[in-house]
Structure 1
Amino acid sequence: MSQFISIDVEDYYESASFQRIKKFAEDKPTPFVIIDTSIISKQYDQMVHNFPYADVYYAVKANPAEEILTLLRDRGSNFDIASIYELDMVMKIGVTADRISYGNTIKKRKDVRAFFEQGVRMYASDSEADLRMIAEEAPGSKVYVRILTEGTHTADWPLSRKFGCQNEMACDLLILAKELGLVPYGISFHVGSQQRDIGAWDSAIAKVKGIFERLRDEHDIQLQMINLGGGFPANYIDKTNELTTYAEEIKHFLHEDFGDDLPRIILEPGRSLISNAGILVSEVVLISKKSYNALERWVFTDVGKFSGLIETMDEAIKFPIYTEKNGELDKCVIAGPTCDSADIMYEHYSYGLPTDLEIGDRMYWLTAGAYTTTYSAVCFNGFPPLAAYYL
């Protein structure tokens, strides 16, 4: 029987989707990623079903392929945009400006001007300089302020303090927004990507409630929107709750703090919509040991941190890996092909690969639909960007 890094992937391997992808991959030179768009459709439908009261804004940075953007456009999704380049991508396929939010708090003046000229009227901010620039280049627009949240350390891919501001500053910025002729529209936060602790949303929503009440009671500002961000998990090795459980708990948190009359709720899923749809296929380049007495093998494959697997940095995201060999699983180090010593995916985590694995065998990295093609280097060591196919 074929061996797995995680027993949880066995059912997926037996699925029609995996078999379809595997057959398609047979004659393709590695490395590459294959995305099954039918899974993205199902994931989107599940998101909408579980959060019927929310508007979905797909985080384009997760994977901006035209095949994915077109599919989500037709399913009714909105789009969270991080740059002028992403704006061009979505507008090229006919997405209208009312379905776009400029969610990056770090942006150039000329880009804000371009967004406004294209009709975009919703912008994120977390600083006075940025807010004043929005007021000058996108007058009268809706702004929402991103706040800092605790608990991101419980996420597999935590977020730093690069984005967001403290509650006190958030209040002051929304007051200033009104003075500058902007619409103080709401609050956003992000609890960290691949977040396992559902309670992270509870504490963040409680913070938002305090800001809503203070602005309403002390400054006659009625905020209209809460952006819950992303953070919903995909199916990597470590177990997570089902999306239904997240949805039930988050709905409870919202009604606990805001009653039955909820403000507009926005979600910004990326990973949770598309990761499960992708399989990255690589080839074993070399298997070696560092000494005659070494207990572990080094398995070098033709994909690495610089060709799509940057999220293995600090061994944060643990991809399930499948091979067709049947040997006993034995702990090994898994590394990429480049001449950079940082190009090691897993050294400390106890990954096991079959003892009969050989040079030339293929490795199938599951749950690889998000943040692989977008993180792939253009030409490090001359290697081309990660190839991608969409079924």
Structure 2
Amino acid sequence: MTMTLQFADALASVSVPVPSRLEAFAATVVVDRPTLLIDASRVALQYRALKAGLGHADIHYAVKANPTREIISTLVSLGSHFDAASRGEIELCLSLGAHPAHISFGNTVKRAGDIAFAHAAGIDLFAADAEAELDKIAANAPGAQVYIRLIVETSEADWPLSRKFGCDRDMALALLDHARTIGLRPVGFSFHVGSQTRKSSMWGVTLDVMAGIWHAAIAAGHDLTVLNIGGGFPAFYGEAIEAPTAYAAGVMAQVDARFGKVARVMAEPGRGLVAEAGLIVAECLLVSRKSARDMHRWVYLDIGRFSGLAETEGEAIRYEFITSRDGDATGPCIMAGPSCDSADVLYEKRPVMLPLSLQAGDRVLIRNTGAYTSAYSSVGFNGFPPLDVMVI
């Protein structure tokens, strides 16, 4: 369920940091299950900041990061474009006023019927990384524009995205030729540097490789007009990151230096657009130890890996926690979710420091959780309900 709420006039008239705005509302809201609070104005602020740095590049919001309708509506009103991974995401964007020409079908693994649906709806830009996928597009969206996704094998991201998507240089060049042969319009390349690439300078190594493939394709006679630089734009999880405008400008300066003048540059921020616009209201269910010798307490929350915190897998994303007992003496904790699954452990390799006074029933707020939380919690595993969402 998604509800749109209004702040009291007093709160709305005070200029405070966005996390404080969310936390102030969290202090007054009554919930009976884990709930994600979304500040739509923060999404708009972040969009404008990223767009200022990206300049001539079009933002294609990665809908999969958070498909909440109010977020999509806000971005449509700002002129955003969208990266859709499925028919469902395409239908969502179209229903909220997005223009078909502003939507790309960026998943490289698509159902034939969904390609046909997208093409009939006016979408003309599709991703592929295999010959069979190009054949599928040609059969169901004849004459469409396609870009080839390149595999990234050198990444400095906190969460590299390798192997599942993309192809290497030689195959990419061959796919451009094949696309042209079967009547498609091959227009360029896409890649993804990896999720949570914390510094713009970390893009350099990947951009060097991608630019080499770009120029090889041009030398081979391909008229490339589209460069999709993907996502990777970071959110704050406790480690310093550049401000969004400076970060985006830093990335674009490197892109322009390596690729030269490109007719159309696309960027696909997801996390970097919505993560910091979200705050989860959760509850501590239990604090315990496994033995008298145990150095660490176990803290069990009413939200876990199967109900919204999937990105704690491998402890890749480390969220910040706020409690009403902050300021008390702290000690290390292993954090876990509520389900009867032994894999539902959030942080164990690097325990979290929490107040020693923390106890069952205490409210726990989880900062910067607007991305990949509600989107991952659509199934009620163990009977626990999906993460609720409130938009303020």
Identify whether the pair has TM-score above 0.5, normalized to the shorter chain: yes
How far does residue 197 in structure 1 lie from its aligned partner after superposition? 5.0
Give the partner amino acid of 1:274: V
Give the partner amino acid of 1:276: E
CA contact (8 A) 1:36 1:277 kept: yes
CA distance in 2, matches of 1:92, 1:248: 32
Match of 2:5 in 1: none
Aligned to 1:141, which of 141, 144, 168?
144
Decide whether aligned partners of structure 1 residues 160 and 210 sit closer, same or farther in structure 2, where only a CA change above 3 A counts.
Answer: closer
CA contact (8 A) 2:18 2:42 kept: no
CA distance in 2, matches of 1:372, 1:327: 29
Match of 1:196 in 2: 198
Match of 1:117 in 2: 120
Q: Tell me whether 1:23 sits opposite 2:27 in the alignment.
A: yes
CA contact (8 A) 1:150 1:200 kept: no
CA contact (8 A) 2:65 2:371 kept: yes
Partner SS for 2:306: helix
Partner SS for 1:195: coil
Decide whether aligned partners of structure 1 residues 104 and 269 sit closer, same or farther in structure 2, where only a CA change above 3 A counts.
Answer: same
**TM-score, L = length of structure 1:** 0.92
Per-residue CA deviations over 1:221-266 (Å, capped at 9, x if unaligned) read 210011000001001022223334433332332232233x233110
**TM-score, L = length of structure 2:** 0.92
Match of 1:303 in 2: 303
Match of 2:254 in 1: 253
- Aligned length, in residue pairs: 376
Give the partner amino acid of 1:316: A
Per-residue CA deviations over 1:193-222 (Å, capped at 9, x if unaligned) read 11135344323333333333323333x221
Q: Which sections of structure 1, spanning at least 5 residues, go unmatched?
A: 1-11
CA distance in 2, matches of 1:316, 1:85: 28
Calculate percent identity across the aligned residue pairs.
Answer: 41
CA distance in 1, matches of 2:20, 2:336: 30
Partner SS for 1:164: coil
Match of 1:8 in 2: none
CA contact (8 A) 1:212 1:222 kept: no
How far does residue 318 in structure 1 lie from its aligned partner after superposition? 0.3
Match of 2:171 in 1: 169
Alignment of 1:1-391 (within 5 A): 16-25=20-29, 27-152=30-155, 154-218=156-220, 220-259=221-260, 261-325=261-325, 326-391=327-392
CA distance in 2, matches of 1:124, 1:364: 38
How far does residue 315 in structure 1 lie from its aligned partner after superposition? 0.9
CA distance in 1, matches of 2:216, 2:349: 47
How far does residue 164 in structure 1 lie from its aligned partner after superposition? 0.2
CA contact (8 A) 1:150 1:191 kept: no
Moved more, 200-209 or 75-84: 200-209
CA distance in 2, matches of 1:347, 1:208: 37
Q: Runs ≥4 in structure 1, deviation > 4 angstroms?
A: 12-16
In angstroms, what is the RMSD of aligned CA positions? 1.7
Give the partner amino acid of 2:26: K
CA distance in 2, matches of 1:61, 1:86: 8
Partner SS for 1:349: strand
Give the partner amino acid of 1:343: D
CA contact (8 A) 2:105 2:125 kept: yes
How far does residue 386 in structure 1 lie from its aligned partner after superposition? 0.7
